[in-house]
Structure 1
C-alpha cells in the first residue's frame, strides 16, 4: 500500500510539472538587445508562415566570447507542453552551438554579437504549425533566456475590425476587436470546443485576450462580436527618443555626457492622462538599432546610458512607476523602476541601451503586479494600436493545436 501511495504521489507531481504553462525567462544583466524577428520589422514575438525563417540576435556584454546553444520546443495553444516527439515537429537537430558571432568594433562598450537563423545546416526547419519556445543555454547547460514564437498555416481567413467600445463608460478609452474566421476548406468540427483564439495588442503577450468562444456562426464562418470580452484599453501613443549620433543631442535627448560610456539625458516627460489626445506617430512600442556613422550597426552601434525622467503628479506620486516597452520584451523588473526624487519632484531611472530609435511609455505597477498602462499617459480610443489575432484548431483525434490562420488590424481607422 505504501508503494502505491508513493506512485500516486509521483504521478500527481509529474502532472503538475509536466502540464504547467511555460513562461519566457528574462535574460541576465549582461545579455542585451535581444532582437527576435522574421520577415517583419517587429523585433519581438515572430509570427511566421510555415517554412519561413526566423532570426535571433543578441549581445553579450561580459566580454567572454562564451558559447551558447539553442533548443526548440513545441507547445499547445495554452503554452502547456505538447505530446509531440521532437522528430514530429523538428526536421534536423537542435541543441547546437550558435556559430555566428562577431565582436563589437570601435565602441566604448565591448560586446559580442550573436546571430542564429532557423532553418540552418543543422536545424532544417519546423514541420508543423503551433506555439514554439526557443531557449538559449550556456556551455554549462544553464538556461540563459527564452523567447516565444508562432508558426502558422493558411487554412483560414481571419478578418479583424476595430470598433469603439459599446459601453458608454469606456467609449473614449477602449478599443474593441471584432473577429470573423472563415475556413478555406471544410467547416471546423465542433468549433465551440476545437477553435481557440488569442488577440494580441502591439505584440505584447502580457495583455493578450484568450479563451473566447465564437459568439455565433453563419454557415462556416465563426463570428466574435463581443463588447467587454474583446476590448483593450486604448492607451496613448508611445514616447520616443533617438540617439543614432552618440556625440550629439538627437530627438528627445536634452544633453549628453561622456564618462566611462556616453550618457544621454532625455527631456523630462509630463503626464498625459489629463491632456487631450494628440496624434503622434509611433512604432507601437518597438525599437530599431541604428548608428549614423556605422556600416553594420549590429557590431558598430555603441551602448549608452539613457536617463529617463518623469514629472511627478498627485495621482501616482506614491505609486510604483516603471518605464515600459519592447526594448526588453515588456519585462517589469528592478531595472525599469523609476525612483522618486522629493527635491525635484520627479521620477528617474537609467537603462543601458544600444544606439537606435526607441519607443517607451511610463506605467504604474499595482500591488498584484498587474500593469496599469493608462495611469500616467491616459487611455484614448483614437490611439493607433496594432492587433494580431491567432487562430488555433485541434481537429477531432488530433494530437496538437495547429495555428490555422492569422489576422491583423490597426485602429488607425477605428469606427463606431
Structure 2
C-alpha cells in the first residue's frame, strides 16, 4: 500500500515540477518584431550591468501598428537557472515592480506601419537592490489575459566579488589548430568565501551571446587554496565557426 501511495504522490507532483517556467528572451506576440536587448550605448554587449552603477539595460522593439496601446512592464527576480525566485519584490526592488512603458514613436512614410518602443532599466521608476538574474515582461494592459504578454527579456546584474582569468585556445582536447576552440578559466576567490565550489558556484557559458549551445553547471577541474580552475571538460570545447576552412594548393 505504501509503495502504491508513493507512486501516486510522485505522479501528482510531476506536473508541478514540469510546470516550473524557465525564462528566456523571446517574442510572444506576432505583432512584435525587431526585439533587441543590450547594454545601453553598446549594442554589441550583452544585457549585463553592474550593481549600483550608472549602467542601464536597453530594450527596444517594434509593434506593427499605429494603434494606441497601454503597454506596461514588470520585473521579476530569477534564480541561477532562470526560474522565478521566491524572494519578495521588496527585497530586490526599489520603486514599483510594474510600470507604464514610455510612449512609442510611430513610423513615418514607411510601407508597413509600426510603433517603436524603447525602455532603459533601471530608471526613475524602479531600481535594483540586489545582483542576480532578472526578467522583464512587457504586456498590454487592455488585452485579454492569454494575449496580454508581448515579450520577455532576460538580463543580469553583477556585483564583482571574485577575479576571473579566462583563456581561449585553438589547441583543444579534440583537435590541434583545427575547427574548435577550447575555453579554460580560473576563479580567484577571497579565502573562505567559497566552501563547496561544486554546489556554491553556478557556471554559465555562452559563445557570442548564443543560447542554443550554452553550457551550465560544469564542475571544477581543480581547487587549490583560493583558486578554482575549470579546464579539460568536453563542454568547454566549442565549434569555432570560422568561414575560412583550411585547404592546400599543390603545384606540379
The TM-score bracket by the shorter chain reads 0.7 to 0.9
**Structure 1 ranges of 4+ moved more than 4 A:** 7-12, 168-171
Partner of 2:62: 59
Q: Quick check: 1:146 aligned with 2:152?
A: yes
Instruction: Give deviations 1:274-332, integer Å, cap 9, x for gaps.
Output: x65xxxxxxxxxxxxxxxxxxxxxxxxxxxxxxxxxxxxxxxxxxxxxxxxxxxxxxxx
Which of 239, 242, 247 lines up with 1:236 in the alignment?
242
SS for the counterpart of 1:213 is coil
For 1:53 and 1:83, locate their aligned partners in 2 and report how far apart those are by CA, in whole Å. Answer: 25
Deviations 1:338-380 (A, max 9, x none): xxxxxxxxxxxxxxxxxxxxxxxxxxxxxxxxxxxxxxxxxxx
- Segments of 5+ residues of structure 2 without an aligned counterpart are 248-252
C-alpha separation in 2, matches of 1:182 and 1:196: 15
Aligned match for 1:135, one of 126, 137, 142: 137
TM-score, normalised with respect to structure 2:
0.82
Shift in alpha-carbon separation, 1:127–1:207, aligned structure 2, 3 A: same
Match of 2:96 among 72, 93, 98: 93
Give how far 1:233 is off.
0.4
Tell whether the 8 Å contact from 2:182 to 2:238 is kept in structure 1 after alignment: yes
Partner Cα distance (1:121, 1:145) in 2: 22
Counterpart position of 2:110: 107
Deviation at 1:107, TM superposition (A): 3.3
Partner SS for 2:112: coil
- The verdict on how the C-alpha distance between 1:45 and 1:133 changes in structure 2, with shifts beyond 3 A counting, is farther
Q: Report how many residues are paired.
A: 235
Report deviation, 1:157: 0.9
Distance in 2, Cα, partners of 1:39 & 1:186: 36
Name the residue aligned to 1:155: 161
Whether contact under 8 Å (1:176, 1:227) holds in the other structure is no
- Residues 273-352 of structure 1 aligned to structure 2 (within 5 Å): 276=247
Shift of 1:43: 5.4
Matched, 1:35 2:36: yes
Residue 182 of structure 2: aligned partner = 176
2:217 is the counterpart of 1:216: no
Question: Compared with structure 1, are the counterparts of its residues 60 and 127 closer, same or farther at alpha carbon in structure 2 (3 Å cutoff)?
Answer: same
> How much has 1:182 moved relative to structure 2?
0.8
RMSD: 2.7
- Cα 1:54–1:23 change in 2 (3 A) is closer
